[in-house]
Amino acid sequence: MADKKLVEAITSMEEDFAQWYTDVVKKAELIDYTTVKGCMVIRPAGYAIWELIQKDLDRRFKETGVSNVYLPMFIPESLLNKEKDHVEGFAPEVAWVTHGGLEPLQERLCVRPTSETLFCDYYKNVVQSYRDLPQVCNQWCSVVRWEKETRPFLRSREFLWQEGHTAHATAEEAEERTLQMLDVYSSFLEETLAIPAIKGRKTDKEKFAGAVATYTVEALMHDGKALQSGTSHNFGDGFARAFGVQFTDKDNTLKYVHQTSWGMTTRLIGAVIMVHGDDSGLKLPPAVAPVQVLIVPIQQKKEGVLDKAYEMRDRILRASENSVRVKVDDTDKSPGWKFSEQEMRGIPMRIEIGPKDMEAGKCVIVRRDTGEKIEVADTELEAKVQELLVTIQKDMLEAARVHRDSHTYSATDMDEFRKIFAEKAGFVKAMWCGEQECEDKIKEELSVTSRCMPFEQEQISDRCVCCGKPAKHMVYWGRAY
């Protein structure tokens, strides 16, 4: 049977990045649209990536003493209203349940947009004494936010995430936990997703509603836009005061707990696509690739070829103690189609084996990240596969870091600032006086937001890029998803 067409063409990134992104998530079968407006089906290929993200993050959390819990998805309106700043921040996005069956509810229930209020309600009941602290919890769940504009993985009305919520006896412990989780996120992005991140603090304008401080990890996508990839919030004792979460301390006095919350979502899949992908489709870092190695038999109907492919698969599995995710493509599609499909799906490594290779006692390995073809002796296969998976992971991080650094600029005055954003795409480092007025003016004029005040501060100049007054902070600015 002749192949009708190889993997359908996808729009070039340079031509239309947004369309390229949509083409990739659809054609790599990561998502499908649904009759529920603004919500998506995460297909098996997409969900398998999320499972790997979840598994890795969950391990990292537990290493820091986190326990998983599950709280209700409904929040009574009266509970939500207890923290004024918080409810104001979320009010426009809340979905409400007004009926139970045919009966109107006495009190509306909101479908959780986030669970601070429920955790406060829970902690109020379980925390009595300093001996009950700290409480270090996380839940894996979905949340609902009634977004006006949606885009697969990046912004949808229902999305999957983890939300960590902790309660501590002191302000110092809460701050320490807030920063500890930010470090967990930063390490995870670099080591697992091969995405280099900028760590820093959000300005008061950009911080979470109800937080004392919000810290963020910001990543740069291929098109030069920023993506907030994870946040960690220190709530101080504001929520505790609103909800009456108190404990008896060692000195026998009643005190309010200090709380934190931190989260990462399925938008990380969008980040992986936009940081690493190319015009052939996805490029998955080995750590989150559901299939890391695809063996493609050439002329598979010829005697012994398929058997050899299966034998290679079994050897790789045995040598790696089943840790390498390897598969044989034994479908009846042509090799050319299989190659294109493997590239589209972002499988990090392809092994080609045919009669001539078998005769010569070798096979060909093709790297998805660089396209490099490597001839490997059959006897060295297992070692080479494991070595290359490590190399690909490392090289993908380095390539992303080079891209980010070469698309990071500095500006000392407004003219320079305007010129960079008019001509280029990326992060711009510039000084800021600390006044929201300047932040608002920059956003209004250039559609640019402060991404974060990085922990590693630099002195670009001593004046605010906007008003020229003495500067207080160096800020990363950018257009963002």
pLDDT digits (tens, 9 = 90+) for 185-195: 999 999 999 99
Q: Are residues 319 and 271 in the same domain?
A: no
pLDDT reported for residue 86: 73
3-class secondary-structure state, position 295? strand
Q: Within 296-435, where are the H helices?
A: 305-319, 335-345, 355-360, 381-406, 414-423
The domain boundary residue, chosen from 359, 390, 421: 390
Q: Are residues 239 and 141 in the same domain?
A: yes
- In contact, 417 and 411? CB cutoff 8 Å: yes
Q: Are residues 264 and 313 in the same domain?
A: no
Arithmetic mean of pLDDT, 82-97: 82
If you compute the radius of gyration of the chain from its CA atoms, what whole number of angstroms results?
25
The H or E element containing residue 409 is strand 408-410
Closest CA to 477 of 433, 437, 425: 425
| Residues 6+ positions from 387 with CB-CB distance below 8 Å | none
How far, in Å, CA of 148 to CA of 38, rounded?
A: 8
Q: How confident is the model at residue 389 (pLDDT cuts 50, 70, 90)?
A: very high
Q: Are residues 129 and 238 in the same domain?
A: yes
Q: How confident is the model at residue 1 (pLDDT cuts 50, 70, 90)?
A: very low
The domain boundary residue, chosen from 362, 390, 418: 390
- Least confident among 78-92, 266-280, 444-458: 78-92
DSSP 129: B
Q: Are residues 368 and 242 in the same domain?
A: no
Is residue 283 situated within a structural domain?
Answer: no
Q: Are residues 32 and 88 in the same domain?
A: yes
| Residues 6+ positions from 253 with CB-CB distance below 8 Å | none
pLDDT reported for residue 8: 61
- In contact, 294 and 282? CB cutoff 8 Å: no
Arithmetic mean of pLDDT, 472-478: 98
Q: Are residues 44 and 104 in the same domain?
A: yes
Closest CA to 278 of 169, 403, 376, 159: 403
Query: What b/e sequence results for 400-434 when a residue is b if at least 16 CB atoms lie within 10 Å of its CB, and e otherwise?
Result: beebbeebbbbbebbeebeebbeeebbbbbbbbbb
Is residue 306 situated within a structural domain?
Answer: yes
% of the chain surpassing 70 pLDDT: 98
Is residue 154 situated within a structural domain?
Answer: yes
Torsion 53-25-292-307 (CA) sign: positive
Closest CA to 240 of 261, 258, 213: 258
Domain count within the chain: 3
Arithmetic mean of pLDDT, 258-263: 98
Residue 59 has pLDDT above 60, yes or no: yes
Is residue 396 situated within a structural domain?
Answer: no
Q: Are residues 262 and 309 in the same domain?
A: no
Q: What is the pTM of this model?
A: 0.95
Kindly report the CATH number assigned to the domain that includes residue 352. 3.40.50.800
Is residue 5 situated within a structural domain?
Answer: no
Arithmetic mean of pLDDT, 223-235: 97
- Residues spanned by the domain of 177: 17-276
Is residue 400 situated within a structural domain?
Answer: no
pLDDT (tens digit, 9 = 90+) per residue, 108-131? 999 999 999 999 999 999 999 999
> What DSSP assignment string belongs to 186-235?
HHHHHHTS----EEEE--TTTS-TT-SEEEEEEEE-TTS-EEEEEEEEEE
CA distances from 178 to 173, 202, 293 (A): 9, 13, 38
Q: Are residues 220 and 144 in the same domain?
A: yes
Average pLDDT over the chain, rounded to an integer: 95
Q: How confident is the model at residue 221 (pLDDT cuts 50, 70, 90)?
A: very high
pLDDT reported for residue 3: 41
Q: Are residues 55 and 143 in the same domain?
A: yes
Listed as own residue / partner, the contacts of 158-161 with beta carbons closer than 8 Å and 24 or more positions apart are: 158/39, 159/265, 159/266, 159/267, 160/42, 160/50, 160/265, 160/266, 161/263, 161/264, 161/265, 161/266
% of the chain surpassing 90 pLDDT: 93
Q: Are residues 50 and 183 in the same domain?
A: yes
Residue 7 has pLDDT above 70, yes or no: no
Arithmetic mean of pLDDT, 297-315: 96
Is residue 401 situated within a structural domain?
Answer: no
The domain boundary residue, chosen from 276, 310, 326: 276
Arithmetic mean of pLDDT, 328-341: 96
CA angle centred on 366, ends 388 and 281, rounded to 5°: 105
Joined together, the tokens standing for residue 480 give 């963002």
Identify the burial level of 350 via C-beta atoms within 10 angstroms of its C-beta, where 0-12 means exposed, 13-18 middle and 19 or more buried: buried
How far, in Å, CA of 451 to CA of 169, rounded?
A: 31
CA distances from 354 to 92, 330, 379, 461 (A): 59, 13, 16, 62
Kindly report the CATH number assigned to the domain that includes residue 444. 3.30.110.30
Is residue 121 situated within a structural domain?
Answer: yes
Q: How confident is the model at residue 318 (pLDDT cuts 50, 70, 90)?
A: very high
How far, in Å, CA of 480 to CA of 154, rounded?
A: 11
Arithmetic mean of pLDDT, 381-410: 98
pLDDT (tens digit, 9 = 90+) per residue, 161-189? 999 999 999 999 999 999 999 999 999 99
Q: Are residues 336 and 419 in the same domain?
A: no
Residue 282 has pLDDT above 80, yes or no: yes
